[in-house]
Chain A
Amino acid sequence: MIEFHLDARSGVAPYMQLIHQVRQALRLGLLHEGDQLPKVKDVVAGLAINPNTVLKAYRELEYEGLVAARPGIGTFVTGTLDVVPQAAHQPLRRDLQRWLSKARRAGLDDESIEALFASTFRSASEEDIA
């Protein structure tokens, strides 16, 4: 069973944070098909959040085909997300580090690097959609 947490200052809607955490757990192999998600009542009691927030997150996950609700019993994982093998992380991290030192040499400070990354990331995902 996974446990949720909330970052109140992230600016990300609480139900989205719950969805991210389930997806993350699926990617990292912490959740498998057949596993049960925490009961709505327990999430609500643990985080002191609105029940509708949890219901909305679970509904969305169900819509994505990742989980299914069994009335009266709970919500269970039915789908999978590609688990990113840890081995793939290393070379990517090395590339990123190389790029970071290049950016620093070019005179970019932390803030400019973050801004550049965010805007590139955004336009790349927009192209993916288009």
Chain B
Amino acid sequence: MSAVIEADRLGKRYRRQWALSDCTLSIPAGHVVGLVGPNGAGKTTLLNLAVGLLAPDAGTIEVLGGIPAAGRAELSRVGFLAQDSPAYAGLSVADHLELGAHLNRGWDAGLARGRVERLDLDPRQKAGTLSGGQRAQLALTLAIAKRPELLILDEPVASLDPLARREFLQDLMEAAAEQELSVVLSSHLIADLERVCDYLIVLVGSRVRVAGPVEELLATHHRLSGPRRDPATLPDGLEVISASHTDVQTTLLARTSGPVLDPAWTVSQVGLEDLVLAYMSQGAGRRRRDNHHLEVQK
């Protein structure tokens, strides 16, 4: 399947600081893709480059096969929800819809009106007085009523309460099902991502640590625990993502290419959260190495 976002050695610099450097990735179409990584990994910069709000200082990025925001056609195919779902505080809900209708060629007025009614938003209310959840829903309405092929969301639910978060994700998934959208969203909330995403990318320090269909990631990663052993003596086909040792025990989170047959290992499933954290701390380097015993003591 073709890629919705394709980056090649992409970089963006603020003054002398590189916010994103040497980032190469390919995001396939037809998925709801979760982008996770620690703060400062370059997620927001990457998404802003993808929608053309920023221009690259190095490398290239293509979105739906073209240069981001190169013209009207490109703009109309991509919807974007920036962090904290910004809205014009002084404009009413109805004003926002009118603005959307004027600025977007493919605007679906019926869909927008229908959503506002269903959400029970007062069209005359100023956006500045909406609750966080309502504002996010208004922003989502604008983003999907333009009928994009690709919807990009930067931390869409981070500031919402659990109920507003669930409602937002319900509506997002409904739109994804109905409009056959490709969706890319960044989030720290892995439990949410586990429900809504079928493809995951872990980005640490501008680099993709792991990417793939969620189901495949879960099927190929396992936790192994057994008697302490020298990491050099591990069998082939076992890629260790994280390891911790006590004087008697070794616990690994590993990517496996086939079943682990050695009976010395107790093999168990890993959840998505542990999997992501293992890759994230792998990127964090040595600072965790002193905490050998952490995992075993839990």
Q: Which residue of B lies closest to A46 (CB)?
A: B170
Task: Say yes or no: A44 contacts B177, CB within 8 Å.
Answer: yes
CB distance from B49 to the nearest CB of A (A): 26
Which residue of the partner chain, among A11, A40, A46, A49, contacts B196 with CB atoms under 8 Å?
A49
Residue of B nearest to A50 (CB): B198
Q: Known contacts A49-B195, A50-B32, A50-B195: does B177 contact A41 (CB below 8 Å)?
A: yes
The answer to whether A41 touches B174, judged by C-beta atoms less than 8 angstroms apart, is: yes
Neighbouring B residues of A45 by C-beta, 8 Å = 170-171, 173-174, 177
The reply to whether A8 and B195 form a contact with Cβ atoms under 8 Å apart is yes
**A50 contacts B271, C-beta separation under 8 Å:** no
Question: B169-216: which have CB < 8 Å to A?
Answer: 169-174, 176-178, 191-192, 194-198, 215
- Contact A51-B173, Cβ < 8 Å, known A11-B269, A11-B271: yes
Residue B218 is within 8 A (CB to CB) of chain A in the complex: yes
Let me know if A53 is at the binding interface, CB within 8 A.
Answer: yes
With A13-B218, A45-B170, A46-B170 known as contacts, the answer to whether A51 contacts B195 (CB < 8 A) is no
With an 8 Å Cβ cutoff, the count of chain B residues facing the other chain is 23
Q: Interface 1/0s, chain A 9-44, versus B by CB < 8 A?
A: 001011000000000000000000000000011001
Question: Closest chain A residue to B214 by CB distance?
Answer: A50
Q: Do B173 and A49 touch across chains, with their CB atoms under 8 A apart?
A: yes
Whether a CB of chain B sits under 8 angstroms from the CB of A6 is: yes
Q: At the interface, yes or no: B166 with Cβ under 8 Å from chain A? A: yes
Given contacts A44-B174, A48-B166, A51-B177, contact A6 B271 (CB under 8 A): no
- Inter-chain CA distance A45–B195, complex, in Å, is 12
Contact with A along B253-296 (1 / 0, CB 8 A): 00000000000000001010000000000000000000000000
Indicate whether A47 reaches chain B with its CB closer than 8 angstroms.
yes
Residues of A within 8 A of B191 (CB): 8
Chain A residues, Cβ within 8 Å of B198 = 50, 52-53
B168, closest chain A residue (CB): A48
Residues facing A in B137-193 (CB within 8 A) are 166, 169-174, 176-178, 191-192
**Residue of B whose beta carbon sits closest to that of A53:** B198
| In the complex, chain A residues whose CB is within 8 Å of the CB of B177 | 40-41, 44-45, 51, 54
Among B166, B197, B198, B271, find the residue whose CB has the most chain A CB atoms closer than 10 A.
Answer: B198
Q: A8-B191, A44-B177 are in contact. Are A50 and B171 (CB under 8 A)?
A: no
For the complex, give the distance between the alpha carbons of A57 and B130 in Å: 38
Shortest distance from the beta carbon of B147 to any chain A beta carbon, whole Å: 16
B178/A47 in contact, CB under 8 A? no
Identify the closest chain A residue to B269 (Cβ): A11
Nearest residue, chain B, Cβ from A42? B174
* List of B residues within 8 angstroms of A8 by Cβ: 191, 194-195
A51 to B166, CA, bound (A): 15
CB distance from B51 to the nearest CB of A (A): 23
Given A6-B195, A8-B191, A45-B170: A51 and B176 within 8 A (CB)?
yes
Spell out A's residues near B (CB within 8 Å). Answer: 6, 8, 11, 13-14, 40-41, 44-54
Sorted nearest first, the 7 A-B pairs with minimum C-beta distance are: A51-B177, A45-B174, A48-B169, A44-B173, A48-B170, A44-B177, A50-B198
- What are 24 A-B contacts defined by CB distance under 8 Å? A11-B269, A11-B271, A13-B215, A40-B177, A41-B174, A41-B177, A41-B178, A44-B170, A44-B173, A44-B174, A45-B170, A46-B170, A47-B170, A47-B195, A48-B166, A48-B169, A48-B170, A48-B173, A49-B195, A50-B32, A50-B196, A50-B197, A51-B32, A52-B32
